[in-house]
Structure 1
C-alpha cells in the first residue's frame, strides 16, 4: 500500500484540535492542492474562504449549531459554489450568460467542483499530519453566513472544513460494506440481499457505539438514517438558491 492510499484509508473526522494556527505555507499547500482537483470543462466553479479571526470563527460556530471545533481549530475553510466570476466573465466578453448560470446543471457542476477541490484539500492536510472535519452545519443559517462572509450573487457557502493539529486520536467509523456501494455493470437491485448486508452493518455500527460510549449508545445505522430523514431539514435552500441567481431552469 503506497503512502497516498494509506492516508486515504486512515481518514477519520477530528473534532478536537490543539491551539496551533496553520502556517501560511501549510494554507498555501492545502489551497494549491485543492486547485489541482479535476474541474468540469475547466470552469473552476468554486471559491475557498479562509477564516483566521477568532471572532469570525466564533460567529460561524454559533450559526453552525454551536459546534466548538468550528471555533477552535488551526484554520477554517469555507468552500463555496461560485458562478459569480463566470457572470463577470460574460460581462467582460459582452455575452449574456445569465440563463446558463441559472440552470440546475450549473448548480450541480459548481457543487461537484467545490467538493472535488475540498477532498484534495483534505488529502493534502492529512498528508501533513493534520486532522480535518467537514462542517455541513454552516448551511443551517445560510443567509447569515453569506452576509457574514460578504458573498456576492451566484455564490453559495456549501460547507466548512476545520483543519488543525489533532489534540487526540479518534476511532474510525466503519463504512458500509463495499457490496452496498460498488456494483459492476448495472445497479444490483436485490433488496433481500441489501437488507441482509445492512443488518450485518447495523451490528457492526451498534457494537462500535456501544464500545465507544461504554454502553450508553447502541445506535443502528438504519435507525440513524430513518430518524434523520423523517423530518426534512434546511428546506429554505431552494428559495435561497433562486434568490442569489441559481436554479431558475
Structure 2
C-alpha cells in the first residue's frame, strides 16, 4: 500500500478546525490539483470561488443551515458548475451555443466536472495534513448564495468545501461493504441479495453509533436513509437550475 492509498482510506469529514488560515501556496496547490482532474472533452465546466472574508463566511454559514465550520476554517471553497465562460468563448467566435448548454447532458457534464475537481482538491488537502468537509447545505438557499458570490447566468453553486488544520479528529464512519457497491458484470437480479447485505451493514452501523455514543444511539442505516428520503428536500433546485440557463432540454 502506498501513501496515496493510505490517504484515501484514512478519509473522514473534519468539522472543527484550528484558527489558522491556509497559506497562499496551500490554496494554490489545492486548486492546481483540482484542475488536473479529468474533464469531459476538455470542457472544464466548473469554477471555484475561494472565500476568506469573515462576513461572507458568516453569511454562508447561516445560509447552509448554521453550520459553524463554514465560518471557522482555514479556507472555504465553493465549487460551481460553470458554462458561462463558454458563452463568452462563443461570443468571441461569433457563434451561438445556447441550445447545447441548455441541455440536461451539459448540466450533467458541468456537475461531474466540478465533482471530479473537488475530489482532487480534497485528496490534495488531506495529503498536506489538512482536514476537509463537503458542505451541500449551500443548496438550501441557492439563490442567496448565488447573489452573494455574484454568480452570472450559467453558473450555479453546487457545494462548498471547508478546509483547515484539524482541531479534532472524529471516528471514521464505516462505508458499505465492497460487495454491496461493486458488482461484477451486471447489477444483482435478486432483491434478497441486496437485503442480506443491508442487514449486515445495519449491524455494523448500529454498533458504530452505539460505541460512539455509549449506547445512546444505535441507528440502522436502512432506517436512517428511509427517514431522510421520506420527505423531498430542496425542491426549489429544478426552477433555480433552469433559471440559471441549465436543463431546459
The Cα shift of 1:189 comes to: 2.5
Q: Name the SS for the 1:161 alignment partner.
A: strand
User: In 2, Cα distance between the equivalents of 1:83 and 1:217?
Assistant: 44
Q: Name the SS for the 2:186 alignment partner.
A: coil
User: In 1, Cα distance between the equivalents of 2:126 and 2:215?
Assistant: 31
- Residue 117 of structure 1: aligned partner: 117
- Residue 175 of structure 2: aligned partner: 175
Runs of 4+ in 1 over 4 A off after TM superposition: none
**Contact between 2:81 and 2:114, CA under 8 Å: does it hold in 1?**
yes
- The TM-score normalised by the length of structure 2 is 0.99
Alignment of 1:188-203 (within 5 A): 188-203=188-203
Q: Name the SS for the 2:49 alignment partner.
A: strand
Q: Name the SS for the 1:66 alignment partner.
A: coil
Q: Name the SS for the 1:140 alignment partner.
A: helix
Higher deviation after alignment, 175-184 or 23-32: 175-184
- Residue 225 of structure 2: aligned partner: 225
The Cα shift of 1:190 comes to: 2.1
- Residue 51 of structure 2: aligned partner: 51
User: In 2, Cα distance between the equivalents of 1:135 and 1:211?
Assistant: 26
Alignment of 1:69-88 (within 5 A): 69-88=69-88
User: In 2, Cα distance between the equivalents of 1:93 and 1:205?
Assistant: 55
The Cα shift of 1:191 comes to: 1.0
- Residue 8 of structure 1: aligned partner: 8
**Contact between 2:188 and 2:194, CA under 8 Å: does it hold in 1?**
no
The Cα shift of 1:184 comes to: 1.2
Aligned residues: 249
Alignment of 1:126-141 (within 5 A): 126-141=126-141
- Residue 185 of structure 1: aligned partner: 185
- Are 1:155 and 2:155 matched, yes or no? yes
**For each residue in 1:99-136, what CA deviation from the matched residue of structure 2 results, as whole angstroms up to 9, or x when unmatched?**
10100000000000000000000000000000000000
User: In 1, Cα distance between the equivalents of 2:140 and 2:41?
Assistant: 31
Q: Which runs of 5+ in 2 are unaligned?
A: none
**Contact between 2:45 and 2:83, CA under 8 Å: does it hold in 1?**
yes
User: In 2, Cα distance between the equivalents of 1:97 and 1:17?
Assistant: 43
Q: Which runs of 5+ in 1 are unaligned?
A: none
User: In 1, Cα distance between the equivalents of 2:122 and 2:242?
Assistant: 30
User: In 1, Cα distance between the equivalents of 2:116 and 2:140?
Assistant: 22
